[in-house]
Amino acid sequence: MTIQKVILAALGAAALSFATMGSAAAADGVIKVGAPLPLTGPLSPEGLKQKQGYDIWAETVNAKGGIKAGGDTYKVEIVYVDYASNTPKAVQSADRLISQDKVNFLFSPFGSGAAKAAGGVSEKYGIPTIAATASSEAVYNQGYKYLFGTFTPNRTLTEPLADIVLGKKPGLKRVAILSRNDLFPTALAKEMAKSAEKRGLDIVMSEKYAIGTMDHSSTVTQLKASNPEWVFATGYINDLILIRKQMKDLGVGAEVVTMIAGPAYQEFIDASGPLAENITSSAWWHPAVRYKGDDVFGTTENFNKLFEAKYGAAADYVQASAAAAGVILQLAIEAAGTVEPAKVRDAIAALDTTTFYGPIKFGDTGQITSLEPPTFQIQGSKPMVVYPDGIKQADINFGVK
């Protein structure tokens, strides 16, 4: 038996009594779901989006009478903790939510890095946990049984994008890759490098920038010197807005400029203005998708309508994925007919259904396998889907100055 398996076995045994406490804690008619989030600090735009998704799910569930499990009905309460964009604090917050606040279930912190770090907490206590914003396979390959994720692996973003670009521009050869030195952005950059090399493209630059970088001018100057035809930049919204502005200031353009993840947010378009035009990106969901589901929202259109009525804007993939995390938890509780953690965990693993977010089915590691992430481009200040064909809204344009 490996050391990891010994540790996991010990953690599982230690969590047995806690699982019983978790069932008892819901006996007052309330299911408490813990949500450690970066509500302040540099990742706060993303954390606040996640909170919106959780809130609209909880409010919709409660307005419809709550979650039914066996012969009981439960209201939902989301218990938030702000970990101020600090990963060690995210882990501490997850532990506190379970051990002190006695939540029944958990939503992971934002992003792959924090979700990976906090995954051991869920396993320690045997608490089903859903990660709404973690795509890197490294999050799920740790042998954990209680962690599930709503994002497909990063290659499901880079592979379709590479096919689209080279299908239209077969002579394109020079690719520059810039990534934030953080788990998700670097993992995505590695997948882009694989997609490029697989197609015979030349990687003329591959650089990382530090978390919290406030001036990218030296890196962008290096980018300009590499004379790329395709710029692929990864990070989070504040990073990418600044990079795009400094590209313009220093006269860096390309046939294709891809940024993930930022252009999916209206805030990126608002902050970048005309500089957002023709930026390509990919995400795990887009409001243009159309699904009829067996969940509390019923259809994508209804989710979009409820979200826009509450927040005055269209939902993006972070908000939708967070709401989907709640939907998945609810469907599993109802299928299990109980709030007992181990049985809910098994019900999540066995899900094979369709929701407003799309088809839901998890692989052996707990990462979702059933989605086809849309690729889109900012055109006329709007994200227009260019893939897949079933929801396509526009053809891809080339040329970013």
Q: How many CB atoms lie within 10 A of CB 212?
A: 12
Question: 3-152+288-361 with 155-283+374-391: one CATH topology?
Answer: yes
Please count the residues of the chain: 401
Burial 364-380 (b: 16+ CB within 10 A, else e): ebbbbeebebbbbbbbe
288 Rama sector, left if φ>0, alpha if ψ -120 to 50, beta otherwise: alpha
Tell me the sheet residues that pair with 148.
Answer: 130
**Token pair for residue 338?**
């109980």
Q: What is the reported pLDDT for 344? A: 98
SS3 259: strand
Burial 224-258 (b: 16+ CB within 10 A, else e): bebebbbbbbbbbbbbbbbbbbbbbeeebebbbbb
The residue among 139, 137, 129 whose CA lies nearest residue 156 is 137
**Token pair for residue 314?**
């269209």
Mean pLDDT of the chain: 92
For 3-152+288-361, the fitting CATH number among 2.40.170.20, 2.40.110.10, 3.60.150.10, 3.40.50.2300 is 3.40.50.2300
Q: What is the pLDDT of residues 175-190, one digit of tens each?
A: 999 999 999 999 999 9
Q: Does residue 175 contact residue 204 with C-beta atoms inside 8 Å? A: yes
Q: Given pLDDT bands bounded at 50, 70 and 90, which one contains residue 26? A: low
Q: How far apart are CA 67 and CA 283, in angstroms?
A: 30
- The residues near 317 (Cβ < 8 Å, ≥ 6 apart) are 261, 264, 283, 284, 285, 286
Q: What is the pLDDT of residues 235-294, one digit of tens each?
A: 999 999 999 999 999 999 999 999 998 898 889 999 999 999 999 999 999 998 999 998
Q: What is the reported pLDDT for 17? A: 40
The residue among 217, 164, 123 whose CA lies nearest residue 398 is 164
Q: How far apart are CA 154 and CA 199, in angstroms?
A: 17
Q: Given pLDDT bands bounded at 50, 70 and 90, which one contains residue 312? A: very high
Domain definitions of the chain by residue range: 3-152+288-361, 155-283+374-391
Q: Does residue 122 contact residue 19 with C-beta atoms inside 8 Å? A: no
Lowest mean pLDDT segment, chosen from 8-12, 129-133, 231-235, 339-343: 8-12
For the cut 80, the answer to whether the pLDDT of residue 24 exceeds it is no
**Token pair for residue 80?**
């938030």
What's the alpha-carbon Rg for the chain, to the nearest Å? 21
Query: Of all residues in the chain, what percent carry a pLDDT higher than 90?
Result: 90
Class of domain 155-283+374-391: alpha beta
